[in-house]
Amino acid sequence: MFTPKYPPQDTAPAPAPYAPTTDAPVPAPQALAPAPIAPVSNRPTVQLTPGSALALAAGGGAVVLVVGAVLVSLLLAVAITGVSVAVCAVVLRSMVKDFNNHC
Protein backbone atom coordinates (compact mmCIF):
# COMPACT_ATOMS: atom_id res chain seq x y z
CA MET A 1 0.00 0.00 0.00
CA PHE A 2 2.75 2.46 0.92
CA THR A 3 5.34 1.16 -1.52
CA PRO A 4 6.26 3.58 -4.30
CA LYS A 5 5.17 2.77 -7.84
CA TYR A 6 7.86 3.60 -10.37
CA PRO A 7 7.09 4.05 -14.07
CA PRO A 8 8.46 1.39 -16.44
CA GLN A 9 12.00 1.91 -17.68
CA ASP A 10 12.54 3.55 -21.05
CA THR A 11 13.21 1.00 -23.79
CA ALA A 12 14.52 3.45 -26.40
CA PRO A 13 18.01 2.72 -27.73
CA ALA A 14 20.86 4.85 -26.41
CA PRO A 15 21.74 7.80 -28.68
CA ALA A 16 24.97 7.62 -30.65
CA PRO A 17 27.75 9.83 -29.32
CA TYR A 18 28.18 13.12 -31.19
CA ALA A 19 31.44 13.48 -33.04
CA PRO A 20 31.81 16.73 -35.00
CA THR A 21 33.65 16.49 -38.24
CA THR A 22 35.93 19.17 -39.65
CA ASP A 23 35.28 18.20 -43.28
CA ALA A 24 31.88 19.92 -43.52
CA PRO A 25 31.89 23.56 -44.67
CA VAL A 26 30.78 26.14 -42.18
CA PRO A 27 27.51 27.76 -43.32
CA ALA A 28 27.53 31.51 -43.79
CA PRO A 29 25.62 33.50 -41.19
CA GLN A 30 22.17 34.43 -42.38
CA ALA A 31 20.76 37.92 -42.13
CA LEU A 32 18.30 38.31 -39.30
CA ALA A 33 14.84 39.57 -40.04
CA PRO A 34 14.03 42.91 -38.40
CA ALA A 35 12.22 42.67 -35.10
CA PRO A 36 8.49 43.34 -35.31
CA ILE A 37 7.40 46.76 -34.07
CA ALA A 38 5.00 46.77 -31.14
CA PRO A 39 1.57 48.20 -32.02
CA VAL A 40 0.75 51.63 -30.64
CA SER A 41 -1.71 51.48 -27.76
CA ASN A 42 -4.94 53.43 -28.06
CA ARG A 43 -5.36 53.77 -24.29
CA PRO A 44 -4.94 57.27 -22.87
CA THR A 45 -1.90 57.90 -20.72
CA VAL A 46 -2.24 59.24 -17.18
CA GLN A 47 -0.68 62.65 -16.79
CA LEU A 48 -0.23 64.11 -13.34
CA THR A 49 -0.52 67.84 -13.01
CA PRO A 50 1.11 69.54 -10.02
CA GLY A 51 -2.29 69.91 -8.37
CA SER A 52 -3.22 66.25 -8.78
CA ALA A 53 0.23 65.15 -7.59
CA LEU A 54 -0.19 67.30 -4.48
CA ALA A 55 -3.66 65.85 -3.87
CA LEU A 56 -2.31 62.34 -4.29
CA ALA A 57 0.51 63.00 -1.81
CA ALA A 58 -1.92 64.54 0.70
CA GLY A 59 -4.28 61.59 0.35
CA GLY A 60 -1.43 59.14 0.90
CA GLY A 61 -0.29 61.07 3.96
CA ALA A 62 -3.83 61.06 5.35
CA VAL A 63 -4.07 57.30 4.87
CA VAL A 64 -0.76 56.79 6.68
CA LEU A 65 -1.91 58.98 9.58
CA VAL A 66 -5.27 57.20 9.90
CA VAL A 67 -3.71 53.73 9.79
CA GLY A 68 -1.09 54.80 12.32
CA ALA A 69 -3.74 56.19 14.69
CA VAL A 70 -5.77 52.97 14.44
CA LEU A 71 -2.72 50.81 15.16
CA VAL A 72 -1.65 52.96 18.12
CA SER A 73 -5.16 52.85 19.57
CA LEU A 74 -5.26 49.07 19.22
CA LEU A 75 -1.89 48.78 20.97
CA LEU A 76 -3.10 51.08 23.73
CA ALA A 77 -6.27 49.02 24.16
CA VAL A 78 -4.20 45.84 24.52
CA ALA A 79 -1.92 47.51 27.07
CA ILE A 80 -4.84 48.81 29.15
CA THR A 81 -6.50 45.40 29.08
CA GLY A 82 -3.27 43.73 30.23
CA VAL A 83 -2.86 46.17 33.13
CA SER A 84 -6.46 45.73 34.22
CA VAL A 85 -6.16 41.94 34.15
CA ALA A 86 -2.98 42.19 36.24
CA VAL A 87 -4.71 44.43 38.80
CA CYS A 88 -7.68 42.03 38.98
CA ALA A 89 -5.28 39.13 39.53
CA VAL A 90 -3.56 40.94 42.41
CA VAL A 91 -6.89 41.84 44.03
CA LEU A 92 -8.23 38.30 43.70
CA ARG A 93 -5.00 36.84 45.08
CA SER A 94 -5.23 39.17 48.06
CA MET A 95 -8.88 38.24 48.66
CA VAL A 96 -8.14 34.49 48.45
CA LYS A 97 -5.17 34.87 50.83
CA ASP A 98 -7.31 36.88 53.27
CA PHE A 99 -10.12 34.33 53.05
CA ASN A 100 -7.72 31.44 53.77
CA ASN A 101 -6.24 33.23 56.81
CA HIS A 102 -9.68 33.76 58.42
CA CYS A 103 -10.82 30.16 58.01
Report domain extents, the chain.
Answer: 74-103
The model's pLDDT over 86-96, given as tens digits with 9 standing for 90+, comes to 999 999 999 99
The model's pLDDT over 33-60, given as tens digits with 9 standing for 90+, comes to 777 787 777 777 778 898 999 999 999 9
Residues with Cβ within 8 Å of residue 48, at least 6 apart in sequence: 56
